[in-house]
């Protein structure tokens, strides 16, 4: 809301109402993690850091590949999985062909198959690009939380996304464009001593309180009713 008021002229009589982001929050169909990994040709003995979404400009693909290159030397226990399509797919393919052995690429999957694949991973990755003054809220957050994945995000410094991750204890955020900081955050999260069950509980609480469609609808209706009462 602060960004909106700072960048757009609003008439005194205009009211600003925040529309909650919401979506389906049911967990994926349970499936043995090792079986899912074998089906997709993924390693069984590594922590898998996954990015799912459009593989295109503005998604921090370059930065994530730099993190993967750093990890190949410093954290051989990590693997990086990209799931999706887009104009930068050849960039990932080129890095794999050049010998970046801890990077894996999967084409876009059917929705339920994608969620099951996420549930076989260990960490959800989000990245944007630096020097952008607009704020964004990555919708892939909902899918990561449905799969009970902790999140590491490299986002705009003006974004309040980091506040949500910190408030609900479901991840950490660093400024976009700092690959070393992103690598450090990834290492910190995969080494977090909390159990998978605890992350699942935190993710479920966040989903039900923040992203549930029914709750979001009620908030919108309550806001509209409050505005009507003031007029």
pTM score of the predicted model: 0.87
Q: For residue 92, what are the CA distances in angstroms to 25, 81, 97, 100, 171?
A: 30, 10, 9, 9, 25
> Residue 226's pLDDT band (boundaries 50, 70, 90)?
low
Average pLDDT for 111-129: 95
Q: What is the mean pLDDT of residues 186-196?
A: 93
Percent of the chain at pLDDT > 70 equals 84
Query: In which band, very low, low, confident or very high, does the pLDDT at 159 lie, cut at 50, 70 and 90?
Result: confident
Q: d(Cα 152, Cα 187) in Å, to the nearest integer? A: 10
- Residue 225 CA from chain centroid, whole number: 33
Q: What is the mean pLDDT of residues 141-163?
A: 91
- Residues 30-75 have pLDDT tens digits of 999 999 999 999 999 999 999 999 999 989 999 999 999 999 999 9
Residue ranges of domains in the chain: 25-211
Q: Would you state the pLDDT for residue 119?
A: 97
Is the pLDDT at 135 greater than 80, yes or no?
A: no
The confidence score (pLDDT) of residue 106 equals: 97
Asked: is 25-211 a CATH 3.40.50.300 domain? The reply is no
pLDDT, averaged across the chain: 89
């Amino acid at each position: 809301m602060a960004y909106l008021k700072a960048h757009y002229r609003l008439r005194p009589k205009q009211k600003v109402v925040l529309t909650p982001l919401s979506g389906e929050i049911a967990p994926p169909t349970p499936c043995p993690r090792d079986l899912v990994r074998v089906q997709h040709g993924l390693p069984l003995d590594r922590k898998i850091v996954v990015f799912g979404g459009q593989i295109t400009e503005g998604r921090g693909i370059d930065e994530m590949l730099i993190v993967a290159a750093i990890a190949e030397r410093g954290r051989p226990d990590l693997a990086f999985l990209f799931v999706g399509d887009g104009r930068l797919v050849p960039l990932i393919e080129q890095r794999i062909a050049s010998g970046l052995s801890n990077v894996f690429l999967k084409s876009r999957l059917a929705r339920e198959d994608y969620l099951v694949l996420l549930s076989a991973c260990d960490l959800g990755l989000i990245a944007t690009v630096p020097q952008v003054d607009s704020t964004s809220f990555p919708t892939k957050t909902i899918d990561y939380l449905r799969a009970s994945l902790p999140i590491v995000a490299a986002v705009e410094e003006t974004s309040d996304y980091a506040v949500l991750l910190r408030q609900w204890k479901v991840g950490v955020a660093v400024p976009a464009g700092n690959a070393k900081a992103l690598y450090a955050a990834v290492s910190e999260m995969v080494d977090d001593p909390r159990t998978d069950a605890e992350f699942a509980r935190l993710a479920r609480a966040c989903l039900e309180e923040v992203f549930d469609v029914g709750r979001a609808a009620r908030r919108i209706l309550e806001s509209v009713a409050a505005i009507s009462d003031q007029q």
